[in-house]
């Protein structure tokens, strides 16, 4: 199976900005054994300042068997022309994108809308140290297990939402930070694959704010076999 990860962040193009910190965190996580040993050419990072670069990146994933799309920035759940509500994200130029436009249409696809704004430094947690200090054998085993669990899962689209609740969230860790922190903690005592609904459930356990906890949703449909987030070998 082929994979493509697209990490989109809205923010100032500075190495110290929250946008860069979260994209760096995702890149480090994904390329490590913990994240499934994604290769450099499988990961695209783009700042969400305009629609065109974002849509071009999404287009690059159309031929992949599995795509992971992570959007980090402002957004909300809205009801437009469809009979149901859907996620809508805002870019730096004040233009918007619907979750439908972020979907590459891959047979297997995960969309993460991380729309809880935070000022917490993303580098404050251990998200995996990319693959520079990991053996070729360990990376290959992680990649094989990740793909094995993907093939065992039911195909289709799954979505994870975390939206602003209207109050201040400056002291709250982002969803990106929380998911990777949960994976890191899980791997300390477990082997195998951490599946997406289990990761989201672990995140919810550690959210004290009930309003913020209610904004975190995992939409996996009626599937019985879910996609992996992390691998422990």
pLDDT of res. 118: 53
Q: What is the pLDDT of residue 208?
A: 81
- Please give the backbone phi and psi of residue 121, each rounded to the nearest 5 degrees, phi first: -70, 120
60: which residues sit within 8 A by CB, 6+ positions away?
4, 6, 44
Structural domain harbouring 51:
3-232
Residue with tokens 């700042």: 47
Profile the chain (233 residues) by mean pLDDT over runs of 10 residues: 95 61 91 96 90 94 96 83 78 87 96 75 50 85 98 96 62 84 96 97 88 86 94 96
Q: How many CB atoms lie within 10 A of CB 165?
A: 16
Q: Is 139 left (phi over 0), alpha (psi -120 to 50) or beta?
A: alpha
pLDDT for 14 equals 58
Which pLDDT does position 128 carry in this prediction? 55
User: Cα 105 vs. chain centroid, distance in angstroms?
Assistant: 16
Contact predicate 108/150, CB 8 Å? yes
Report the CATH number at residue 227: 3.40.50
Per-residue confidence (pLDDT) for residue 81, from 0 to 100: 74
Provide the 8-state DSSP code for 122.
Answer: G
The number of folded domains in the chain is 1
With a CB cutoff of 8 Å and minimum separation 6, the contacts of 132 are: none
Q: What is the pLDDT of residue 93?
A: 75
């Amino acid at each position: 199976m082929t994979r493509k990860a697209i990490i989109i962040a809205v923010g100032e193009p500075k190495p110290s900005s929250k946008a860069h910190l979260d994209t760096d965190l995702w890149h480090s996580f994904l390329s490590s054994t913990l994240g499934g040993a994604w290769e450099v050419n499988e990961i695209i990072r783009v700042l969400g300042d305009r629609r065109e670069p974002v849509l071009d990146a999404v287009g690059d994933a159309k031929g992949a068997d599995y795509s992971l799309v992570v959007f980090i920035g402002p957004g909300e759940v809205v009801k437009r022309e469809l009979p149901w509500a859907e996620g809508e994200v805002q870019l730096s130029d004040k233009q918007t994108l619907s979750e439908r436009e972020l979907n590459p249409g891959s047979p297997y696809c995960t969309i993460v809308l991380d729309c809880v704004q935070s000022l917490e430094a993303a580098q404050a947690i251990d998200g995996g140290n990319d693959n520079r200090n990991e053996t070729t054998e360990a990376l290959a085993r992680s990649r094989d297990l990740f793909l094995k669990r993907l093939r065992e899962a039911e195909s289709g689209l799954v979505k994870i939402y975390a939206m602003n609740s209207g109050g201040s969230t400056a002291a709250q860790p982002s969803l990106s930070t929380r998911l990777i922190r949960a994976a890191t903690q899980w791997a300390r005592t477990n082997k195998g694959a951490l599946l997406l609904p289990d990761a989201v459930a672990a995140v919810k356990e550690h959210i004290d704010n009930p309003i913020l906890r209610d904004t975190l949703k995992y939409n996996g449909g009626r599937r019985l076999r879910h996609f992996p987030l992390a691998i422990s070998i």
